[in-house]
Chain A
Amino acid sequence: MTTAETFSLILAMLTALAAGLIGAFALMKRMSLAGDVISHIALPGLGVALIFNINPIIGAAVALFFGTFLIWQLEKGGRITTDVAVGVMFTAALAVGTLVTPSEDLIEALFGGFQELTTLWFVTGIVCVAAIVGFIWYFRYQLIIGLFSPELAATSGINVSRINLIYLMMFSLTVLLGLRFLGALLVGALIIIPAAIGRQLTHTLTAFLAVSSAASVLSVLIGFTINRLYPSITVGSIKLNLALGPAIISAAACIFLLSLLKKKI
């Protein structure tokens, strides 16, 4: 592996760690679907940036900023219910994003791929992961009380609305980091599936967070290994393309299925 490839793998694993933590809280906050909206809203941003020859990550970041704000407003209580808004925006963002994204870039925008990283992007990525993990660590007590009851959190002197906004911003940052190798369609899965695995296998909060992060990192490692060793395999007359993003999420889904089995034993 070249240094740039190593950078890319390390950052992908650290992103997975952050996604495991953010996802565990998303699951407990019952906002798994909101995560899908946030990740899909990145797609029109990616597309527009590609058209204007701007770095697609910057386009996605701008779109995500609006997505985050939108979900935050919805959470505070709007005139339409969250599930309706999620249902509409999720598909609309996908449709608009697909329309505006140049076709030669569409597959990568949707499903990600393996890209080598410059040192600058690597360092920026590390700083972002540190911000996400640092936020969860610093605000863990406020987050826990907020999960249990936003009202009790407010009467305990916690600014619930502010914590929710910062949490959503960290969620979007995780999506942004994951977009690079998973694409807009799959990045949400790296946040939700490992958290679902953690919930299946654990009973305490600490174990939940640990297993969720570990499952996420393991999925990236397995997906990366599969993609490296077998970029494509042929079964009979069918040629399967084992691209990185789909390999990672399939690995996560397999671990989830296994975790269901364990629960029943």
Chain B
Amino acid sequence: MTKRLEVRNVSVTVDGARVLDDVTFDLGAGERLVIIGPNGAGKTVLLKSLLDLMPHSGQIVWAPDARLGYVPQKIDADRHLPITYKDLFVSKCRVAGEPIARIGDVIRDVGISKKILDTPVGHLSGGQFQLGLMAFALIGRPNVLILDEPTASVDEPGEEHIYSLIERLQHEYDLSIIAVTHDMSFVYREATRVLCLNRRSICVGTPEAITPDVLAELYGESQSFYRHHHHA
């Protein structure tokens, strides 16, 4: 399998505290790597390091043909910002050198209505906002999609929609996926590989490698909640 990403001994220190310690893993073409871990485990820090948004030590090497799309967990957008997704998509097309017609493709791929396109972003529901972010990420024709808690701001039917959307997009765009989540059903349904993170990597492997012992080490006291979630 061709590698799209190699991460070797990556560490991040913020204000003298080590928030990520010696993390190593790979990402192959077509893989869905899901990163799990408790709050404060450094999951978002790791994503931001991969995107070069954060100073880090160690090596992060993307394949020369890797094109990254990033879907953040949430954006601190001003509710009164008079900006719509249409403004943002047009801007992204211009910056990425894509034709404006590409907007029609991505809103069809993600399934968002023209009405959402013309509504100021601050007035959209959590689910609509999330889909807009997804479409924004697709405009540069990525082959790696990086998702931070893709289902955190949506309700249960919305979760289903996001799962099937990710699966469909993966085929259509030949994507490798890196996703951070708290949602264990996402792990068991979507992951081809799992990275358990608690400042350092506790395990890297298939979803079957997530044994109760691993979860105990990862989450400590709260493990029963996650196991329960798995069986539910």
Binding site for B on A (CB under 8 A): 28, 30, 140-142, 144-145, 147-149, 151-152, 154-158, 199, 202-205, 207-208
Contact = CB atoms under 8 A, between A and B. Distances in A.
Contacts of A30: 78
A148 B81 contact: yes
A154 B53 CA distance: 8
Q: What are the nearest 7 A-B pairs in CB distance?
A: A141-B91, A141-B94, A155-B70, A144-B91, A149-B75, A208-B82, A145-B91
Majority-rule SS of B interface residues: mixed
B140 interface: yes
B184 to A, nearest CB: 27
Q: Which of A148, A151, A199, A202 has the most CB of B within 10 A?
A: A148
Q: Which of A30, A204, A207 has the most CB of B within 10 A?
A: A204
A28 B120 CA distance: 13
Nearest to B77: A148
A158 B95 contact: yes
A227 to B, nearest CB: 33
B140 A156 contact: yes
Nearest to A208: B82
Contacts of A155: 51, 53, 68, 70
A152 B75 contact: yes
B92 interface: yes
Contacts of A204: 82, 84
B72 interface: yes
Contacts of A140: 91
B80 interface: yes
A142 B95 contact: yes
B90 interface: yes
5 contacts: A147-B81, A151-B70, A152-B72, A152-B75, A156-B92
